[in-house]
Amino acid sequence: MYAFDLERPTTLADAQAALKSDEAQPLSGGQTLIPTLKQRLAMPEKLVSLTAIAELQGITKEGDTLTIGGATCHADVAADGSYPALSALAGQIGDPHVRNRGTIGGSLANNDPSACYPSAALASGAAIVTDRREIASDDFFTGMFETALDEGEIVTSVRFPIPERAAYVKFDQPASRFALVGVFVAKTADGVRVAVTGASEGGVFRWAEAEAALSSDFSPAAIEGLTVPSDDMIGDIHGTKDYRAHLVGVITKRAVAAAG
Amino acid sequence: MTQVKMTVNGKSVSGEVEGRTLLSTFIRDTLGLTGTHVGCDTAQCGACTLHVNGKSVKSCNMFALEADGADVATIEGMADADGTLNTIQQAFQDHHGLQCGFCTPGMVMTAAALLKENPSPSEAEIRAYLSGNLCRCTGYHNIVKAIMAASGQDVGQIAAE
Ligand SMILES: Cc1cc2nc3c(=O)[nH]c(=O)nc-3n(C[C@H](O)[C@H](O)[C@H](O)COP(=O)(O)OP(=O)(O)OC[C@H]3O[C@@H](n4cnc5c(N)ncnc54)[C@H](O)[C@@H]3O)c2cc1C
Ligand code: FES
Ligand code: FES
């Protein structure tokens, strides 16, 4: 790792001030950032830790809306249970040690194409709240490892409308435990949203054909015969483009079945 | 350099660290507590697992400064002062839950975290909880058995491969 300063502010205002300098970057659970620093793929002059800021922690439920602080760890979301499909997703991220450190804000900001949370945010139609504005999940994920966040912008919370029915099914890549393909399905009064992670070169995406089919018939059979084009699927040693495209259909069916 | 203070195995400690100093480095090099092993240094193997404020973490993937003011527990704090092994450690010995022993500190700390959350885990729950801890020797069976035994459950149903 290159050398850097590490600050640990206790208020959001102090974190914002510390992030004003050009080469500063937020540090949350560090579960992605520390390995990146060790590989010398990032070279910040200063890291600003978000883990000592009380206002970025915690989970609150008001009516059918669940709000999760940006620096809330995966284990806390897993234990919460007010949005069962979301808690189940959080409980399947990595391993217990990773879940005790890694946070929802870090996961969304990183937008790894194989990460779990982006699919939940996109399928649920969540709002990503920052220290500057609120971003709809449909506008937040802009490509592999890319988001609508500006330099130094902090994800302060994520607001999930809790759907009538939902489920996440993840087909693990067994060595990394990230999703080879993961599908989050959410059904609300307005229709069905299907978000796919792990599969596409462009990162998480909504599968429009499946959404249309499921909105009129919410059953695994509705997916029969639907396919996603394999051109922009990820192809690597773990699976070809065609294999991933096939898995998208299979895992979507399983997610619909699990959502009941 | 910045001053960091924490409680480790009940004792108050402090030392100078850089921003980039890992918790595993502080524990091993500054405090000399080398029971916490560094296997991969990339958050994969779990050999470096210890507890921060009662939660298990991979100490190679956390900065020492992030543990400022925290209560840390390492493998050195598991046995009694006179060296008597605790229940989990004794079960690892009784059930041959280790061969080379490199993964063992992390396995014991992980088992301790599991049994605190879930005092009577099933075999499947134990295996799932160990998903971040790699062992290149035992094939895991005897580790699972040891944890089962430490929780006071019958180990008979676990295959003896
Ligand atoms: C062994 C292992 C297995 C894993 N398995 C999975 C898995 O199965 N599924 C999965 O989804 N993930 C997995 N992860 C990744 C894990 O979930 C990370 O915790 C997560 O992706 C990043 O969150 P973090 O809090 O650790 O962020 P950090 O590593 O601290 O930061 C990541 C990036 O986000 C930025 N950032 C952090 N917080 C904020 C914020 N609030 N606002 C703006 N920017 C911010 C940082 O500057 C950095 O660029 C795994 C990680 C490991 C080590
Ligand atoms: S040394 Fe920390 S996980 Fe391997
Ligand atoms: S006993 Fe050798 S690595 Fe586990």
> What CATH number should be reported for the domain holding residue B40?
3.10.20.30
* Residue A31 lies inside a defined structural domain of this protein: no
Whether residues A145 and A203 share a domain: the answer is no
Instruction: Report the pocket of ligand 1 as residue ranges, CB < 6 Å.
Output: A 25-33, 50, 70, 93-94, 98, 102-103, 105-107, 109-110, 112, 115-117, 149, 154-155, 177-178; B 43-44
Question: Is A99 a member of any domain?
Answer: yes
One domain, residues A250 and A188: yes
Query: Between β-strands A179-188 and B2-8, what pairing exists: parallel, antiparallel or unpaired?
Result: unpaired
Pick the residue from chain B with its C-alpha nearest to A37: B20
Residue B19 has pLDDT above 60, yes or no: yes
Distance of CA B89 to the CA centre of its chain: 11
Mutate to test the pocket of ligand 1, among A6, A19, A31 (most ligand atoms within 8 A of CB): A31
Q: How far is CA A56 from CA A24, A221, A225, in A?
A: 19, 42, 44
Q: Report the domain count for chain B.
A: 2
As to burial, measured by CB atoms within 10 angstroms (0-12 exposed, 13-18 middle, 19+ buried), residue A2 is exposed
Any domain includes A115: yes
Same domain, A60 and A146: yes
Residue A63 lies inside a defined structural domain of this protein: yes
Rounded Cα distance between A127 and B70, Å, is 33
**Together in a domain, B8 and B63:** yes
Tokens of B28: 């091993």
Report how far ligand 1's centroid is from the alpha carbon of A38 (Å): 15
> For position B159, what pLDDT does the model report?
67
Closest C-alpha to A239, from A171, A151, A137, A187? A171
Q: Are A93 and A77 in contact (CB under 8 A)?
A: no
The domain boundary residue, chosen from B33, B51, B76: B76
Rounded to the nearest integer, the mean pLDDT of chain A is: 97
Q: Residue B82 domain-assigned?
A: no
Any idea what the CATH number is for the domain that residue B99 is in?
1.10.150.120
Summarised one tens digit per residue, pLDDT across range A218-227 is 999 999 999 9
Query: Which residue of A5, A8, A101 is in closest CB contact with B57?
Result: A101
pLDDT of res. B160: 56
Amino acid identity, position A206: R
Q: Residue B156 — very low, low, confident or very high, per pLDDT cuts 50/70/90?
A: confident
List pLDDT tens digits, range A106-147. Answer: 999 999 999 999 999 999 999 999 999 999 999 999 999 999
**Do residues B72 and B91 both lie within one domain?**
no
Closest CA to B145 of B98, B101, B102, B99: B98
- Same domain flag for A62 and A156: yes
Q: What is the pLDDT of residues B54-83, one digit of tens each?
A: 999 999 999 999 999 999 999 999 999 999
Of A184, A183, A179, give the one whose Cα is nearest residue A238: A179
Rounded distance between C-alpha atoms, residue A111 and residue A146, angstroms: 6
Q: A260: pLDDT confidence band, cut at 50, 70 and 90?
A: confident
Tell me whether residue B148 is in a domain: yes
- Residue A21 has a pLDDT of 87
Taking the C-alpha atoms of residue A115 and residue A215, their distance in angstroms, rounded to an integer, is: 26
Closest CB to B57 among A8, A49, A100:
A100
Average pLDDT over residues A4-13: 97
pLDDT for B116 beyond 80: yes
Residue A130, domain CATH = 3.30.465.10
Task: Tell me how many degrees the CA angle B115-B121-B127 measures, rounded to the nearest 5.
Answer: 95
Residue that is last in its domain, among B49, B76, B103:
B76
Boundaries of domain holding A194: 165-259
Residue A113 Cα distances to A71, A196, A251, angstroms: 21, 10, 17
Give CA–CA dist A33/A128, Å, rounded: 20
A184 within some domain: yes
Token pair recorded at residue B13: 């400690």
Indicate if A154 and A170 belong to the same structural domain: no
For the segment A168-207, what is each residue's pLDDT rounded down to a tens digit?
A: 999 999 888 899 999 999 999 999 999 999 999 999 999 9
Inside any domain, residue B25:
yes
Contact A96 B56 (CB under 8 A): yes
Domain span at B133 = 87-153
